[in-house]
Amino acid sequence: MKQITLTFIFLSLLPGCALLETASTTTTKRSYGKHKTAYLHAHNAEAGNENNAETKLKQKQSDSSEFTSEDKSKQNSEQLTGQNSNTSNTEIIENAQASKTNTANNELAITDAVNKDKAAEADAAEIIAQQASESSTETTLTNNTINDDELFDEEAEGTDTFPGVNMDIWERIRKGFSMEEQQHKRIDQQLKWFARHQEYMDRVAERAQPYMHHIVEQLEANNIPLEIALLPIVESAFKPFAYSHGRASGIWQFIPATGKRYGLKQNWWYDGRRDVYASTEAAIKLLTALHKEFKGDWMLALAAYNSGGGNVRRAIRYNKKRGRPTGFFHLRLPKETKYYVPKLLALKELIAHPEKYNIKLKPISDEPFLQKVDLDSQIDLALAAELAEIKLDELYRLNPGFNRWATSPSGPHHLLVPLATAETFITNLADYPPEKRIRWIRHTIKKGETISTIARKYQISTDTIKRVNHIKGSRLRAGRGLTIPVASKKLSTYKLSANQRKSKQQNINRKGKKVTHIVQSGDTLWDLAQRHRVGVRQLAKWNSMAPRDPLVPGMSLVIWSRNNSAKADYHDPTHISAPPKRQVTQRIGYRVRNGDSLTRIANKFQVSVNQLLRWNKRVKKSKYLQPGQRIVLYVDVMKTSS
For residue 495, what is the DSSP state? T
Instruction: State how far the Cα of 124 lies from the Cα of 126, in Å rounded to an integer.
Output: 5
List beta partners, residue 414: 374
Catalytic residue list: 235
531-545: b (≥16 Cβ within 10 Å) or e: bbebebebbbbbbbb
What DSSP letter does each residue of 77-102 carry, written as one string?
A: HHHHHHHHHHHHHHHHH--HHHHHHH
Q: Are 190 and 196 in contact (CB under 8 A)?
A: no
Contacts of 308 (CB under 8 A, 6+ apart): none
DSSP state of 491: G
- Number of CB atoms found within 10 A of residue 395's CB: 22
Can you list the pairs that 335-340 forms with residues at least 24 positions away whose Cβ atoms lie under 8 Å?
336/306, 336/307, 337/303, 337/306, 337/307, 337/311, 338/186, 339/186, 339/189, 339/190, 340/234, 340/302, 340/303, 340/306, 340/307
How many alpha carbons lie under 13 Å from residue 13 in its C-beta half-sphere? 16
SS3 (DSSP) at 331: coil
Please report, for residues 27, 280, 371, 391, 521, the alpha-carbon distance to residue 397 in angstroms, rounded to integers and kept in the order given. 63, 16, 14, 10, 35
Burial of 91 (0-12, 13-18, 19+ CB in 10 A): exposed
44-48 long-range contacts, CB within 8 A, separation 24+: 45/143, 45/146, 45/150, 46/143
**Cβ-based neighbours of 354, under 8 Å, separated by 6 or more:** 360, 361
Contacts of 92 (CB under 8 A, 6+ apart): none
